[in-house]
Amino acid sequence: MNKNKLMLWLSSLTVGIVLIVMVLHQQFNFLHAYSMAHHGVELSMPLFILKWTFFALPLLLLFMSFILYKLNKQHSALPIVFTLTLTFASIAIIAMGNGLVEYHFSVFMVIAMVSFLGSVRMVLLSTGIFAVHHLLGYFLFPQLICGSHEYHFSLLMIHAVFLLFTSGANIVLIMQRNDEVKAEESERDRLLAEERQSIVATFDKTMESLQNTAEELVASSSQSHTAIEHTRTSITDLTTTIALQVEDLELSEKEMRALSEKLSTVTELAIESKTKAREVSENAMSGKELMINTQQQFEKSASSVNRLAMTIESYQKQVQQVDVLAQQINGIANQTKLLSLNASIEASRAGEHGRGFAVVAKEVSNLAEASDATATTIQTQIGQIVGDANKMLEEMKDVLNELQQSNTYMNDSEETFASITSDTIDTTKLLEQSTEHTIQVDTSSKSTLKNLDRITALLKENQQTASAIMAHAEEQVMNVKRTAQLAHVLKELAKDMAFSSDEIRNA
């Protein structure tokens, strides 16, 4: 940390003590009872204004020191401003502390801080300000110096004596330190003179070495330049050849990649066709089985229709038997009517004795008529049933003929499906063989493409290596050129060193 920065911190610290003392005494009435008991003096308005003037003055000086430090950290006015800030800060501490004697110790603290500047004039300036402040203050405003009018002048003189002793001690230390600095500077000048003579001798040796080194560098750079030019020419030819090979391989790689993509597409289509052919073959086999099942079902249906026709014929015979029974019932009913009529005639002849028999004969006549009506209805229904049965029988014969024709068609379809299934199986086998060959060709194409990629990558690496070697050769050429320039600079430096050596000798 430089001196001015440290002084800025010390000044800020001292002004901070001023603020602390002001807050303690003005806001919290620190030691107010003690001051009133021993002094008991209230400040007049002029002294009150002077007290706060002493408080404001170090604040303004500290603000000025910050501005100067901001403008130039080595400003020539900073030592004076720091001295005034510290001095008036001590005066403000005494004033804001109601003149208590204990705050006078801040004077010695400030003298020690000012001594750090290493200037006798700054110590004298601060001491003079303190002396004038104490002497004039004792007569003009003793309340701000000693806290009361009753403070003895001899005690104040004791303060002045110790202030002078402190300042004198610090001045002696500063002067002694300055003498030591001058002695150190004189010794440093002597050592510098001896070192200068040593440097002159070293310059002479270094100059000769530089001249020899420069000549060797010129010869070596010339040989290196020739060798590097030959190497660069060879690398250029190699780079051109590799570039042409890379272009040819990249073109072949593009064509092979396009062929590989087409083969991949063909392979995908072949695999898809193989899958579709298997599905078609499976569907054909399912269709063949379905046709067989359908044919079997048709045969079962034809058998069922035949059995149904036989059942209907049997049903017709049974109905005809029922018709015969109905005719017999009709005959019986007619005979019953004749018997009933005869019974009625006989009952009428019998008179009173045949009246009950006449009622029975009447009921028997009614029953015969009902039986006759029922038999007639049965005959009518049987006639309708026989007609419907005949129609059903004719329709069943037609259905049976259609089933026989369908069976013939199913046999033809079965043969066709068998032929389709056989052809589909053969086609599926051919597609599987074609797919296997296509996959093998696609695999070979991809393997060839990978080999081309590896060869292209290797050639590109060789091309990059050749480019790196070429760049390194260019860099070596530049290094050789810089070496030649350095050799020239070394020659010029040797001349300058010789001239400097002469000036040092003459100095």
DSSP class per residue in 110-139:
HHHHHHTT--HHHHHHHHHHHHHHHHHHHH
Rg (CA), the chain: 71
Contact 361, 287 (CB under 8 A): no
**Length of the chain, in residues:** 507
Q: Is the dihedral of CA 129, 130, 133, 134 positive or negative?
A: negative
Nearest in space to 59 (alpha carbons), one of 107, 91, 30, 27: 91
Amino acid of residue 27: Q
Measured torsion, CA atoms of residues 392, 393, 399, 403, in degrees rounded to the nearest 10: 140
Label residue 475 exposed, middle or buried (CB < 10 Å: 0-12, 13-18, 19+).
exposed
Neighbours of 181 (CB within 10 A): 11
CA-CA distance, 41 to 221, in Å (whole number)? 96
Distance, in Å, from the CA atom of 383 to the CA atom of 361, rounded to the nearest integer, reads 33
3-state secondary structure 311-350: HHHHHHHHHHHHHHHHHHHHHHHHHHHHHHHHHHHHHHHH
Q: Name residues whose C-beta falls within 8 Å of residue 364's C-beta, 6 or more positions apart in sequence.
A: 336, 339, 340, 343
Residues 6+ apart with CB under 8 A from 47: 141, 143, 144
What's CA 471's distance to the chain center, in Å?
Answer: 39
Place of tokens 């003929």: 401
**pLDDT, tens digit only, all 507 positions of the chain:** 588 899 999 999 999 999 999 999 888 877 766 655 555 556 778 888 988 999 999 999 999 999 999 999 889 899 999 999 999 999 999 888 877 878 888 899 999 999 888 889 999 999 999 888 888 887 888 777 776 666 777 777 887 888 888 888 888 888 888 888 888 888 887 887 777 777 767 766 776 776 677 677 667 667 666 766 776 676 677 677 767 766 776 776 677 677 667 767 767 776 776 677 677 667 767 766 776 776 677 677 667 767 776 777 776 677 677 777 777 777 887 787 787 778 778 777 777 766 776 777 777 777 778 777 887 887 787 778 777 767 877 777 777 677 677 667 667 666 776 676 777 677 677 767 767 766 776 677 677 777 767 767 776 776 677 677 667 767 776 776 776 677 677 667 767 766 766 666 666
Cα distance between residue 401 and residue 389, in whole Å: 18
By the 8 A CB rule, do 494 and 207 touch?
yes
Query: Are 232 and 480 within 8 A, CB to CB?
Result: no
Q: How many CA atoms lie within 13 A of 153 on its CB side?
A: 5
On whether the CB atoms of residues 372 and 316 are closer than 8 A, the answer is no
Looking at residue 370, its pLDDT comes to 79
pTM of the model: 0.41
Q: Record the tokens describing residue 47, joined without a space.
A: 């002294």
